[in-house]
A and B are shown apart, each in its own frame.
Chain A
Amino acid sequence: MREKFLLIPIRFLFIFIVLGLIFTQVIRHPYYSRLSKDNAIRIIPIDAPRGTIFDRNNIPLVADRISFDVAVVYQELKNREKLIRLFKGLFDVPRKNIEDSLEKASLKPYAPVTIVEDIDKEKAFMLEEESFDIRGLVIQTKSVRNYLFKNVGAHVFGYLSEINEEELQNLREYGYRAKDLVGRDGLEKYYDKYLAGVDGGLQMQVDNKGRQVRTLGLKEPVSGKDLHLTIDINLQTVCDKALWGKNGAAIVMDPNTGEILALSSAPTFDPNIFIRPEDSSERVKLIRDRGRYPLLNRAISGVYQPGSVFKVVVASAALETARITLSTRFNCNGAYSIGNAKFACWKEGGHGSQNIIEALMNSCNVFFYNTGRTLGVEKLEGFARIFGFGKETGIDLPDETKGVAPGRLWKKAYKKDIWYEGDTINYAIGQGYLLVTPIQVLEMMAVMANKGSMVKPYLVKSVDTTEILSVNRRAVGLSDDAIRTVREGLYKVVNEENGTGKRAKVEGIAIAGKTGTAQNPLGRTHAWFSGFAPFDNPRICLAVFLEHGGKGGLEPSEMANEILQEAKSKGYL
């Protein structure tokens, strides 16, 4: 009867496997269930197209376009040699490159691996037909950013590049993934979260070799929102072209609303080179160009001495505080002295006796040395701030700088020194420690154009159909008399025979403005022109700046003339 005992270990073994199964299928079920899904389910991301950027007349400026990539599914590739010969003929790439790419493709034999990116549409259609003969050849499409006007408006749009590790950590919650392109500068950066959209995905079931078996689900990508700009691309093109070959900036604004019609910085670049992988050397050249800094948006991020354009502030301050009146006259004999120090006027021999209007027209330094001293540094600093210097204008672009509107305290803090009378003299003609951005100069001039009101500049009118209420207009608190007097001086700058800005004059338009020629420690003088038109009811306000550009009365005034003519032909004036 020994067999009776034999049943005991056998029973025990059966219980053993039953317990094992309960452990595996009940207790560990959630774990294995997840592993099973990980095995069989792949998410293939579908990029959401970025929003399109339109100009004020609905002309598309930046849009996604379809790019055609040639990919190879290595497993299905039969005639390798034929493929290499075909590619060599079509794309003019070294045989070595093609073979390297195929080598890469052999590592993931079941997935399409891109061999040549972004080929011509015609070649893509031709290859699509060939792909019947050459198995394993796949034409894939993806959308890529296209800056339609190439290097025109580059600093307004900015550019895209791959998200970096740190940003990914910060932005993961907002749906950003590795390899995503994010806005790096300009509107692409400032409005990135609107432009970017939400990526979708295709949920695929795959087999053990990673081959796609069936689609389980689709999450449609949500396109990014479109931006409608205040920019007029024609005016933008004129500004960009006027600056071609120079270093500088030009900005055109509607002073009533703050709408920026054009914003140029030179040298410029083509944002498309940040998209195409084969342009990496050009990209590096651009980033490393320490001499010219082409990526710097000089219009909002470059700071310079304003020179004589700042006399608008000094004149307004003196009239407003009644330190001088229309009848106050100072005599200019070509130089001004305090103690041993001698400050020259730009005109040898001097301008003689002048009132404020004549001094503005002639841009007489000696008159403003006197005026500056009667005002004192506190008033100069205070009025510089009233006109917007020393703080950002708040334009909807990233990396705006605020410049420096110096004062006693500032000098103590940053230069560890007291304020000298000579500093005030320099301040009065926009020299010395004062540093401004071109857009601040534009804003200053807009106060004159608006007869005492300041507007906030902006570039985006609406996101999709949602209007952005950006018009932000407020009086700065100057009396009408002061404004009228300064405006008269500005009118004469352009319209009088010996006005410094007469080259800006366009027949049939009443233009007012101010030139500036700023000495700076780095070399040749910076050249400025800022003005507005028509005089009585201005619709255009502009600022032109040339880095080391010589005299404000020459090139910048001529460029302003060009821009104003274009504005006239487009019906803005």
Chain B
Amino acid sequence: MIFDKRLVKDFDKALLVITFILCLGGVLMLHSATQAKGLIFIESYVFRQINWIVLAAAFLLIVINISYQKFIDISYALYAINIVLLMLVLILGRERLGAQRWFTVGNFAFQPSEFIKINFILTLANLLGSKKGRLEDAKMFFIPLVLLAIPFLLVLVQPDLGTALLLIPIFLAMAYVGGMRVKHLLILVIIGISALPFFWHFLKDYQKQRLLVFLNPNVDPLGAGYTIIQSKIAVGSGGLTGKGWLAGTQNQLNFLPERHTDFIFSVIGEEWGLFGALILILLYFLITRRGFDIVSSTNDMYGKLVAVGIVVLISLQVVINIAMTIGLMPVVGIPLPLVSYGGSSMLATFIAIGLLLNIGMRRSRF
């Protein structure tokens, strides 16, 4: 694999560096969050996470070597495979934390819902790109909505409310950039919002509980509200400068549940304080900014749409994850990209960033 000069010139090295800085910070936090378990190194979360990063980096290398257009070409097939996997998860998946999100392949708990985000973006880009210029017509909504609805419902019944809902803003952003009329999109949003009470009945009890707890964590301070209360205490007690690495009492004394996965940010807030948190947010914002630069500088509509989807995906995951740790949003199972422990999320995020780099380095070829 030899890149031509132009590819190297347009390769966004800063984006790659930021990605690895975030991974490194994540590993440090993961050590702090899990050291109390006293595992030997090769069984530790840190070791496993490093393996995932290495594997994910390899995937990233593969992804940037194949033109993103090839992925778009096979996107329907990838989408179909992913949908089948989502169905299989419902039938065969292991139940964890009340939700069936995993396949176990060997030691690897494979989570198809992490990959549907990317495959959905690729497929939607393919569809919207091919209908370029004709999207002003409201009838054009039908197929994209079906494309959204299938994974949305499959993920929702897992149940993984967070991932399901995440697909909606991605859809809206891509449809908007693809050229659909704002008026049509607004009507769609209004219809969606008015259908919310209907969806309430589809939610599992624990999801309803989480949403109610978001409105008032004290309805169940030892049950569903416990996580959010302890997380707010952790972040809030961190103050400006934090309690220091490995020195957060909420973290080290086990008051924070789920702290190596969805609530890793609580550990950051507690141990590194507001300053640490702001640096982290700045790094994510830089990813978003570089992503938008790639979107703007790409003339190819397909590439543009994929890049938009990925930028919205990453930035919204960051915002939702942090907002939920400080009680600004309900607790939905959204990990902090590149930092939370988890193989599927790490692989999916690296593939997404790989696609972004891919589009950036090939922007002037089309």
Contact = CB atoms under 8 A, between A and B. Distances in A.
Contacts of A24: 232, 235-236, 269, 326
Nearest to B176: A2
Contacts of A4: 296
Given A26-B240, A36-B234, A17 B322 contact: yes
B277 interface: yes
A381 B158 CA distance: 99
Interface stretch (B49-57, B248-256, B357-365): B248-256
Contacts of B312: 6, 10
A572 interface: no
Contact of A31 (B236, B240, B278, B284): B236
B234 A2 contact: no
A6 B176 CA distance: 9
Contact of A6 (B173, B236, B322): B173
Interface string A12-30: 0110111011101110110
Interface string B251-290: 0011100000000000001000110011001001100100
A37 B270 CA distance: 13
Interface string B301-338: 00010001001100110010011001010000000000
Interface string A291-318: 0000000000000000000000000000
A10 B288 contact: yes
A207 B253 contact: yes
Contact of A21 (B173, B278, B285, B288): B278
A458 B295 CA distance: 97
B238 interface: yes
A523 B304 CA distance: 114
B177 interface: yes
Q: Which of the listed residues A29, A205, A206, A213 has the most CB atoms from chain B within 10 Å of its own CB?
A: A29
B319 A13 contact: yes
B173 A25 contact: no
B216 to A, nearest CB: 17
Nearest to B292: A7
B328 A29 contact: no
Nearest to A40: B249
A35 interface: yes
A6 B177 contact: yes
A36 B249 contact: yes
Nearest to B305: A3
Given A20-B323, A21-B274, A39-B253, A32 B237 contact: yes
A157 to B, nearest CB: 46
Contacts of A79: none
- Select the residue from B250, B253, B281 with max chain A CB neighbours within 10 A: B253
A537 interface: no
Given A2-B176, A36-B249, A205-B253, A26 B274 contact: yes
Contacts of B127: none
B281 A18 contact: yes
B29 to A, nearest CB: 16
Contacts of A40: 249-250, 253, 255
Interface in A149-181: none
Given A6-B173, A18-B278, A25 B315 contact: no
B239 to A, nearest CB: 5
Given A2-B176, A21-B278, A21-B322, A16 B296 contact: no
Nearest to A5: B176
Contacts of B250: 36, 39-40
Interface string A205-218: 11111000100000
Contacts of B288: 7, 10, 14
Contact of A29 (B236, B285, B326): B236
B328 A16 contact: yes
B253 A25 contact: no
A3 B177 contact: yes
A33 interface: yes
A25 B240 contact: yes
B330 to A, nearest CB: 14
A411 B34 CA distance: 86
B249 A39 contact: yes
Contacts of B253: 39-40, 205-208, 213
A23 to B, nearest CB: 8
Nearest to A31: B236
A25 B254 contact: no
A206 B254 CA distance: 10
Given A3-B304, A13-B316, A14-B315, A28 B254 contact: no
A22 B233 contact: no
B281 A25 contact: no
Contact of A25 (B176, B239, B319): B239
Given A4-B296, A10-B288, A39-B253, A25 B235 contact: yes
A28 B236 contact: yes
B237 A21 contact: no
A254 B248 CA distance: 68
B318 to A, nearest CB: 8
A37 B288 CA distance: 37
A32 B79 CA distance: 45
B300 to A, nearest CB: 13
B291 to A, nearest CB: 10
A31 B176 CA distance: 43
A49 to B, nearest CB: 33
A32 B233 contact: yes
Nearest to B178: A2
Contact of A33 (B236, B269, B296): B236
Contacts of B285: 14
A40 B254 CA distance: 10
B281 A14 contact: yes
A16 B239 CA distance: 18
Contacts of A16: 319, 323, 328
Closest 3 CB pairs of A and B: A32-B236, A36-B237, A207-B253
Given A21-B281, A40-B253, A208-B253, 4 more contacts: A3-B308, A7-B292, A39-B230, A39-B249
25 contacts: A2-B176, A4-B296, A10-B288, A14-B284, A14-B288, A16-B319, A17-B281, A17-B319, A20-B326, A21-B274, A21-B281, A24-B232, A24-B236, A24-B326, A25-B235, A25-B239, A25-B274, A28-B236, A29-B239, A29-B240, A36-B233, A36-B236, A37-B249, A39-B230, A208-B253
